[in-house]
């Protein structure tokens, strides 16, 4: 988590820079480069060039840009880059609600607003926590690899639930869901870890989805079809429930 402070009155500095490549991606880029070099040494150029072209593609997929996270006691920021494909009232996953024996409470039972964010292979795939607090649960569930854009992917695909609790006891759960191409969810946190809003908590390889479960009495501040940015876009303000209309132009 960066320590540079900025505000909406001009404090701070801004400059463009190349995003760093997450270590998870560096090994894949290196493997592709070595294979390309091997084929080149064998004079198999028809195979060398495709693997050489893979290197910048892999680097782009695993890019990890810096983000400026708005600070506020009740702000919920997006955990993922992508397209808001679904906003609906529904029960949270049982893994986020049931007693898991840890002594830490789960989410209250009852319908809440779920926001689903679909990440294509062109989006940044580093996921960030929507709020700051203590990680209470990280629950991995193996499953299928259906198209992550389908609603049933929330219950049938490989997924990982994360529950973060604020100091005042308010908690938010979100779920990383593997997709049609994605084959691995990589966590960066474990139960008991302290995280700041917008901090990196994991990634999903090659196209996927993240579902966020807002607390009761809280509505989305984003709209269906809107693109959001992990760690920057405000998804909701806890306790704020209001209808927001949008127009697609």
The answer to whether residue 153 scores a pLDDT higher than 70 is no
144/169: higher pLDDT: 169
**Edge-to-edge strand list for the sheet holding 185-187:** 126-128, 200-204, 185-187
Domain-located, residue 125: yes
Find how far residue 55's CA is from the centre of its chain. 24
Distances (CA, A) of 74 to 51, 132, 192, 194, 235: 47, 10, 22, 18, 11
Q: Are residues 93 and 201 in the same domain?
A: yes
Domain boundary among 9, 42, 64: 64
- Domain span at residue 60 reads 20-64
Q: Are residues 52 and 174 in the same domain?
A: no
The answer to whether residue 155 scores a pLDDT higher than 80 is no
pTM of the model: 0.87
The answer to whether residue 15 scores a pLDDT higher than 60 is yes
Q: Are residues 46 and 135 in the same domain?
A: no
Provide the domain count of the chain.
Answer: 2
CATH of the domain at 152: 2.70.70
Q: Is 208 a catalytic residue?
A: yes
Report the pLDDT value the prediction gives residue 154, as an integer from 0 to 100: 58
Find how far residue 183's CA is from the centre of its chain. 15
Domain-located, residue 177: yes
- The tens digit of pLDDT for each residue in 167-209 reads 898 999 999 988 665 557 888 999 999 999 999 999 887 668 8
Report the pLDDT value the prediction gives residue 1, as an integer from 0 to 100: 44
Exactly one of 36, 78, 116, 208 is catalytic; name it. 208
The answer to whether residue 149 scores a pLDDT higher than 50 is yes
Report how far residue 122's alpha carbon sits from residue 84's, in angstroms, rounded to the nearest whole number.
15
Domain-located, residue 243: no
5/111: higher pLDDT: 111
Q: Are residues 126 and 157 in the same domain?
A: yes
Domain-located, residue 48: yes
Q: What 8-state DSSP symbol labels residue 76?
A: E
Q: Are residues 116 and 217 in the same domain?
A: yes
Q: Are residues 160 and 50 in the same domain?
A: no
Q: Are residues 99 and 169 in the same domain?
A: yes
Q: Are residues 187 and 102 in the same domain?
A: yes
Domain-located, residue 28: yes
């Amino acid at each position: 988590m960066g320590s540079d402070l900025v505000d909406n009155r001009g404090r701070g500095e801004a400059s463009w820079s190349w995003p760093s490549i997450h270590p998870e991606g560096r090994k894949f880029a290196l493997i592709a480069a070595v294979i390309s070099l091997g084929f080149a040494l064998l004079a198999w150029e028809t195979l060398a060039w495709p693997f050489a072209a893979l290197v910048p593609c892999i680097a782009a997929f695993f890019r990890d840009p810096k983000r400026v996270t708005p600070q506020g006691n009740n702000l919920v920021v997006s955990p993922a880059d992508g397209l808001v494909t679904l906003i609906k009232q529904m029960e949270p996953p049982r893994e986020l609600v049931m007693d898991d024996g840890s002594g830490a409470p789960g989410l209250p039972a009852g319908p809440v607003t779920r926001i689903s964010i679909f990440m294509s292979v062109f989006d940044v795939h580093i996921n960030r926590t929507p709020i700051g607090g203590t990680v209470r649960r990280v629950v991995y569930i193996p499953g299928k690899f259906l198209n992550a854009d389908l609603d049933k992917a929330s219950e049938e695909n490989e997924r990982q639930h994360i529950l973060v609790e604020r100091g005042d006891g308010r908690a938010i759960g979100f779920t990383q869901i593997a997709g049609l191409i994605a084959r691995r969810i990589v966590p960066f946190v474990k139960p008991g870890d302290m995280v700041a809003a917008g901090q990196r908590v994991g990634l999903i390889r090659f196209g996927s989805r993240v579902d966020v479960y807002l607390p009761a009495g809280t509505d989305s501040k984003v709209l269906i079809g809107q693109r959001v940015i992990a760690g920057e876009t405000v998804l909701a303000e806890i306790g704020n429930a209001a209808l927001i209309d949008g127009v697609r132009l």
